[in-house]
């Protein structure tokens, strides 16, 4: 039996495998910030997820507790952040043997002082979370506006949704990056 005939036969028997299924909505990575609080971030800037042993994280002195230290992957070194502590929803991870880390790549930053587009480079950050739960898709109309009265979270959230009776905080990578840049300017 030739390959062409086999391909044709498979397409006849299993057409759903060969048809692209367009799914609506933006893809998000869902995770637990703490055992009780759930968050999600857009997959657009997520590069990978990792389990990093604690001994592979190099602490940096004189930084806030929310900064875990330096991590590396694929020949890149990046800063690891305790995400729940950084946005103000939990205390520091205690006595973990390894961290669940979401590695995000922030859009290129151009060196504004030199005004030279050739000095741009991507910024990588590792966001340590309690546990990764999977993927979900959301339509813009499903996202509720940010509630007032949550000052720490307002600087980190894109919105909030309720799904299966769970409140999920949609974190904005751009807002987190801005919050981080403000932290680094204060140091």
Element spanning 159, H or E? strand 157-163
Between 66-70, 156-160, 175-179, 180-184, the lowest mean confidence (pLDDT) is in 180-184
The answer as to whether 113 is a domain residue is yes
The answer as to whether 164 is a domain residue is yes
State the virtual CA torsion across 53, 56, 62, 67 in degrees, nearest 10.
Answer: -40
**pTM tops 0.85, yes or no:** no
Between 37-41, 43-47, 150-154, 170-174, the lowest mean confidence (pLDDT) is in 150-154
**Could you give the C-alpha distances from 14 to 4, 20, 21, in angstroms and in order?**
15, 13, 14
Q: What's the domain range around 47?
A: 24-186
Give pLDDT tens digits for 121-148: 678 899 999 999 999 998 878 776 655 5
Give pLDDT tens digits for 145-174: 655 545 555 677 888 888 888 889 998 888
pLDDT band, very low/low/confident/very high, at 80 (cuts 50, 70, 90): very high
The answer as to whether 135 is a domain residue is yes
The answer as to whether 18 is a domain residue is no
The answer as to whether 7 is a domain residue is no
**Could you give the C-alpha distances from 81 to 86, 98, 99, 164, 174, in angstroms and in order?**
7, 14, 10, 29, 15
Residue of higher predicted confidence among 92 and 67: 67
Between 11-15, 81-85, 147-151, 180-184, the lowest mean confidence (pLDDT) is in 147-151
The tokens for 137 are 């898709």
The answer as to whether 1 is a domain residue is no
Tell me, what CATH number does 148's domain have? 2.40.50.180
Number of domains in the chain: 1
The answer as to whether 41 is a domain residue is yes
């Amino acid at each position: 039996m030739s390959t062409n005939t086999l391909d044709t036969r498979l397409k006849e028997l299993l057409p759903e495998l060969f048809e692209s299924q367009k799914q609506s909505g933006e893809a998000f990575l869902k995770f637990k910030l703490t055992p009780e609080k759930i968050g999600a971030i857009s997959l657009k800037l997520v590069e990978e997820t990792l389990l990093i042993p604690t001994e592979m994280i190099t602490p940096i002195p004189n930084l806030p507790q929310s900064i875990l230290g330096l991590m590396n992957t694929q020949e890149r070194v990046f800063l690891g952040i305790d995400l729940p502590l950084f946005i103000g929803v939990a205390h520091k991870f205690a006595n973990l043997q390894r961290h669940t880390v979401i590695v995000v790549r922030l859009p290129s930053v151009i060196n504004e002082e030199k005004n030279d587009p050739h000095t741009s480079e991507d910024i990588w950050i590792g966001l340590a979370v309690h546990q990764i739960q999977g993927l979900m898709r959301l339509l813009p109309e499903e996202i509720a506006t940010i509630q007032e009265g949550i000052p720490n979270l307002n600087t980190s959230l894109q919105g909030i949704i309720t799904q299966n009776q769970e409140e999920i905080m949609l974190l904005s990578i751009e807002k987190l990056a801005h919050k981080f840049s403000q932290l680094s300017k204060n140091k």
